[in-house]
Amino acid sequence: MPMHEASFPLRCAAAVLAFLPGLGQAMPGATCPPQVYPHEARLYELEGKTSVRFSVEQDGKVATASVARSSGWKVLDDAALSNVRQCVFPADRAAKENFSVQYVWDLDDAELLRPLLVPGSCQPSQRVQGYNNLDKSASNDSGVVLRMFIGSEGAPARIVAEAPGLPAELVEAAVTYVQGCRFAIDPEVGGTRSWSTYGKVLLRRQPL
């Protein structure tokens, strides 16, 4: 099947996005609703790239849409899918054609300084073997990705697990571990600071 690639950035400045015409270039006449940066993603300052693959019915409506490559954040992937599914394309496009588009979720051009785990600050755990700062590789039975805010004393709050389909006990073990840790930004490093951070809690494999 033919595959058409359209890549366009979604830039956020003061929470306002510019929807650039990459998709229209691949399919002239395509119309889509204004894209909105998800509120939760803005709060946690989540960024990434979502590639979406979709097909179009002969009436111009989207037939199927799926994430071909995840941004690493479900809230961003869901927003990209929602936007594509609301698009209307030229009615002469055959339903058998597949298309691909990339959403670049970017809050600004500055690299954020996020709080990192303070070494030795976590309570020992028989269930957890460690924590990887700023690791958003997919959660599995050996590690759970968490995002969170860090308070003035370095304690995490509003912890959210990016762990669809994982058993609740694994997520609970990861959250409980992080709650006993402390995070900080090196005061000697200059740059744009964020109160949000993320990482992966590494779990020990349990004996059978």
Among the three residues 106, 127, 158, which one is the final residue of a domain in this structure?
A: 106
The reply to whether 208 falls in a domain is no
| DSSP state, residue 111 | P
pLDDT at position 11 is: 32
pLDDT, tens digit only, all 208 positions of the chain: 444 444 333 333 222 233 333 454 445 677 888 888 899 998 999 999 999 999 888 888 899 999 999 999 999 999 999 999 998 887 765 565 678 888 889 887 567 899 999 999 999 999 999 999 999 999 999 999 999 999 989 999 999 999 999 999 999 999 999 999 999 999 999 888 899 999 999 999 876 5
Question: What pLDDT shows up at residue 96?
Answer: 55
In the 8-state DSSP scheme, what is residue 187?
T
Q: How many domains does the chain have?
A: 2
Is 35 within a domain?
A: yes
Q: Which amino acid is at 119?
A: P
What pLDDT does residue 57 have? 87
Looking at residue 142, what is its pLDDT? Answer: 96
Structural domain includes residue 171 = yes
Judge if 98 and 141 occupy the same domain: no
From 106, 128, 151, give the residue that closes a domain.
Answer: 106
Q: Is residue 191 part of a domain?
A: yes
Give the model's pLDDT for residue 3.
Answer: 43
User: What range defines the domain where residue 170 resides?
Assistant: 112-203
Question: Max CA-CA distance within the chain?
Answer: 62
Whole-angstrom Cα distance, residue 104 to residue 125?
Answer: 38
The answer to whether residue 23 sits within a structural domain is yes
pLDDT score for 93:
58
Place of tokens 């599914």: 85
pLDDT at 28 (0 to 100): 60
Give me the sign of the Cα torsion angle 192, 198, 199, 204.
positive
Of 111, 30, 113, 38, give the one whose Cα is nearest residue 77.
Answer: 38
Residue 22 domain flag:
yes
User: Do 102 and 116 share a structural domain?
Assistant: no
How confident is the model at residue 109, as a pLDDT? 52
What is the model's pLDDT at position 132? 98
Q: Which of 29, 33, 6, 30 is nearest to 19 (CA)?
A: 33
pTM to 2 decimal places: 0.78
Domain end point (choices 75, 106, 137): 106
Whether residue 64 lies inside any domain: the answer is yes
Domain check: are 140 and 84 in the same one? no
39 and 88 in one domain? yes
Query: Do residues 99 and 119 both lie within one domain?
Result: no
In a domain, 175, yes or no: yes
CATH number at residue 74: 3.30.2420.10
